[in-house]
C-alpha cells in the first residue's frame, strides 16, 4: 500500500476563495467590433462627408395638437458628436471587458441609436425634403406588426416544445383568408376575424404531424410553408384573379386615433394613431407577457417545453398542451397575416408574406422567447425595414440595392452578435413518448 499523499490544495480547503491565478481568456470581440464600426462611421459620416451642409428633421405631423418646428442641425458637427458618443461607448466596453464586468442592454442600445442618428444626419444632409422622424417611427411600428404576431406565435409553440418554422405559411394563410372574407362580406373586421382561423389550421397540421406521426418538426414546418404558398397561389390564379371584384378587393381597416393620447407629440401619432390590429397587438403582447410567466397556464406550458416527463408525472397532459398552444400560436400568426391585406389595404398577392415569417423567427430568438423581448426585436427589424423606405423617398447616397439588404443584414447581426448565449426551451423539437 502506498503512502498517503496530501494534495497541496487540501490544506486551503475547497471552499476557500479561489486564487486569481488562472482565469478564462478574455474575449475582445465585442469591444473591437464596437470600436471598428464607430471608426468606420466617423470616417464615412464625418471625415469624407461633404462639409457645410445642414440636415432637417421634422417631428410633428400636421394634425398634432402641439406643433413643434422642424429641427435643423449642422450635418458634420452632429454626425461627429454622435460618432464620438459611439466611440466613448466602445471605450466603456473595453474597460468593462478588461475588468470582467457585465454591461447591460443599455450599451448596445444607446450605441445603436447614436450610430443610426449619425447615419440619418449624413443621409439627409443637404436635402430639400426634411427627414420625417415621426413618420419613420410610425412606419416602423406598422411594418413590425406581422413580425410581432409571428414572433409571438413562434414563442407560444416553442415554449411548449414544438418548433414552428411554419410561421411564414401561417402569415400567408391569414393574409389570404382575411382578404377573401373581407372582400365577400365588404367588412375589414370580418377579415380580421377570419385570419386567425386560417393560421390555426396550419398550426393544427403542424402539430398533428409533429405529435401524431413524429415527423421532424423543422421539415414539417418547411413543407407547410411550401404547401401554403402552393395552395394560395393556385387559388389566387384560379379564383381571385378571375373575379377580383368579388374575391380580392378587401376594404382597408380604418385608422383610429385614441382621443387625447394621439395628440401627444411624437409618441401620440406613432403609438395611438393606428388601426385596430395594432391595438390588438398591444393587448396580446401585454397579456401574453403576464400569462406566460405568471399564470397557471403559462407555468404548465413552459414545463411541457422544458421537461415534458416531469409535467406528465404531475398529471399534465403533455401532447394535449402542445396541441392547444400550437393551434393558438397558429391563430396568432394568422391574425398577424391580416396585416398584409386588410390592415395595409392591399389585395392578396402571391407569396406576399415575403419571408417575414422567418424574420419573425429571428425576432423570437433575439427576444429570448419572451413576448416583450419579441416586441422589441420586431420593432428593431421593422425600423430597419422602414428606414429603407423613408431614405428611398428622401434620397440617400447609398445604392437602393444595398438599402434593400438592411433588414436582413440587421437580422443576421442581431441574432448572431447581440443575442449571445440564449437558452431555448430544453425539449423543443423532441416528440414526447412515454
Residues of the shown chain interacting with other proteins in the complex, contacts defined by CB under 8 A:
1-2, 4-11, 13-15, 18, 22-25, 290-291, 294-297, 299-300, 302-303, 306-307, 309-317, 421, 423, 426, 434
Helix axes 167-185, 217-235, angle to 10 degrees: 30
Query: Cα dihedral angle (89, 91, 97, 98), rounded to 10 degrees?
Result: -160
Q: Closest approach of Cβ 89 to other proteins, in Å?
A: 24
Residue 239 grid coordinates: 379564383
Q: Which C-beta is closer to other proteins: that of 40 or that of 310?
A: 310
Q: Closest approach of Cβ 258 to other proteins, in Å?
A: 25
Q: Closest approach of Cβ 261 to other proteins, in Å?
A: 25
Q: Closest approach of Cβ 88 to other proteins, in Å?
A: 27
Q: Which C-beta is closer to other proteins: that of 310 or that of 393?
A: 310
Q: Closest approach of Cβ 105 to other proteins, in Å?
A: 19
Q: Closest approach of Cβ 293 to other proteins, in Å?
A: 10
Half-sphere exposure (Cβ direction) of 214: Cα atoms closer than 13 Å? 4
Q: Which C-beta is closer to other proteins: that of 1 or that of 283?
A: 1
Helix (H) or strand (E) holding 132: strand 131-132
Q: Which C-beta is closer to other proteins: that of 162 or that of 343?
A: 162
SS3 252: coil
255-257/273-275 β-pairing: antiparallel
Q: Which C-beta is closer to other proteins: that of 307 or that of 324?
A: 307
CB 382 within 8 A of CB 274: no
Helix (H) or strand (E) holding 273: strand 273-275
Half-sphere exposure (Cβ direction) of 202: Cα atoms closer than 13 Å? 40
Q: Closest approach of Cβ 253 to other proteins, in Å?
A: 29
Q: Closest approach of Cβ 94 to other proteins, in Å?
A: 18
Q: Closest approach of Cβ 100 to other proteins, in Å?
A: 9
Q: Where are the beta strands (DSSP E) in 123-211?
A: 131-132
Q: Which C-beta is closer to other proteins: that of 25 or that of 399?
A: 25
Residue 35 grid coordinates: 470600436
Half-sphere exposure (Cβ direction) of 230: Cα atoms closer than 13 Å? 6
131-132/71-74 β-pairing: unpaired
131-132/54-58 β-pairing: parallel
Q: Closest approach of Cβ 373 to other proteins, in Å?
A: 16
Q: Which C-beta is closer to other proteins: that of 18 or that of 212?
A: 18
Give strand pairing partners of 273. 257
Q: Which C-beta is closer to other proteins: that of 193 or that of 372?
A: 372
CA nearest to 191, candidates 254, 251, 278, 280: 251
Q: Which C-beta is closer to other proteins: that of 14 or that of 52?
A: 14
Alpha-carbon span 376 to 112, nearest angstrom: 14
Q: Closest approach of Cβ 310 to other proteins, in Å?
A: 4
CB 266 within 8 A of CB 137: yes
Alpha-carbon span 350 to 341, nearest angstrom: 12
Helices assigned H by DSSP within 339-355:
none
Q: Which C-beta is closer to other proteins: that of 5 or that of 245?
A: 5
Rounded CA Rg of the chain:
25
User: What DSSP letter does each residue of 382-397 carry, written as one string?
Assistant: HHHHHHHHHHHHH--S
Q: Which C-beta is closer to other proteins: that of 241 or that of 307?
A: 307
Amino acid at each position: 500500500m502506498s503512502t498517503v499523499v496530501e494534495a497541496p490544495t487540501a490544506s486551503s480547503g475547497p471552499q476557500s476563495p479561489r486564487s486569481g491565478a488562472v482565469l478564462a481568456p478574455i474575449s475582445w470581440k465585442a469591444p473591437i467590433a464596437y470600436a471598428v464600426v464607430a471608426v468606420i462611421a466617423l470616417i464615412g459620416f464625418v471625415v469624407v462627408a461633404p462639409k457645410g451642409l445642414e440636415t432637417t428633421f421634422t417631428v410633428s405631423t400636421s394634425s398634432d395638437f402641439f406643433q413643434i418646428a422642424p429641427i435643423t442641425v449642422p450635418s458634420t458637427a452632429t454626425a461627429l458628436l454622435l460618432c464620438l458618443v459611439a466611440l466613448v461607448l466602445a471605450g466603456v466596453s473595453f474597460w468593462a471587458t478588461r475588468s470582467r464586468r457585465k454591461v447591460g442592454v443599455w450599451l448596445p442600445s444607446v450605441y445603436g441609436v447614436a450610430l443610426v442618428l449619425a447615419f440619418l444626419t449624413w443621409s439627409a444632409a443637404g436635402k430639400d425634403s426634411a427627414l420625417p422622424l415621426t413618420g419613420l417611427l410610425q412606419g416602423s411600428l406598422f411594418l413590425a406588426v406581422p413580425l410581432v404576431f409571428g414572433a409571438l406565435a413562434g414563442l407560444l409553440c416553442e415554449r411548449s416544445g414544438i418548433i414552428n418554422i411554419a410561421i411564414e405559411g401561417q402569415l400567408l394563410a391569414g393574409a389570404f383568408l382575411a382578404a377573401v372574407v373581407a372582400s365577400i362580406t365588404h367588412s375589414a373586421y370580418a377579415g380580421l376575424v377570419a385570419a386567425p382561423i386560417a393560421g390555426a389550421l396550419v398550426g393544427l397540421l403542424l402539430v398533428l404531424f409533429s405529435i401524431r406521426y413524429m415527423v421532424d418538426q423543422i421539415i414539417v414546418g418547411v413543407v407547410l410553408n411550401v404547401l401554403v404558398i402552393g395552395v394560395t397561389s393556385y387559388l389566387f390564379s384560379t379564383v381571385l384573379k378571375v373575379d377580383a371584384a368579388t374575391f380580392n378587393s378587401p376594404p382597408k381597416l380604418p385608422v383610429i386615433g385614441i382621443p387625447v393620447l394621439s395628440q401627444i407629440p411624437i409618441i401620440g401619432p406613432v403609438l395611438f394613431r393606428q388601426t385596430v390590429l395594432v391595438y390588438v397587438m398591444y393587448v396580446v403582447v401585454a397579456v401574453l407577457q403576464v400569462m406566460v410567466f405568471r399564470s397557471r397556464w403559462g407555468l404548465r406550458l413552459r414545463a411541457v417545453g422544458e421537461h415534458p416527463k416531469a409535467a406528465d408525472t404531475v398529471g399534465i397532459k403533455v401532447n394535449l398542451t402542445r396541441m392547444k398552444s400550437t393551434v393558438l400560436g397558429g391563430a396568432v400568426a394568422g391574425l398577424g397575416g391580416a396585416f398584409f391585406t386588410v390592415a395595409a389595404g392591399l389585395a392578396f398577392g402571391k407569396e406576399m408574406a415575403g419571408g417575414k415569417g422567418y424574420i419573425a423567427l429571428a425576432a423570437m430568438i433575439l427576444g429570448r422567447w419572451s413576448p416583450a423581448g419579441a416586441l422589441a426585436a420586431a420593432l428593431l427589424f421593422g425600423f430597419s425595414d422602414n428606414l429603407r423606405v423613408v431614405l428611398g423617398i428622401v434620397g440617400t447616397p447609398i445604392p437602393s440595392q444595398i438599402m434593400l439588404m438592411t433588414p436582413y443584414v440587421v437580422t443576421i447581426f442581431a441574432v448572431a452578435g447581440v443575442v449571445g448565449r440564449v437558452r431555448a426551451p430544453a425539449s423543443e423539437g423532441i416528440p414526447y413518448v412515454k
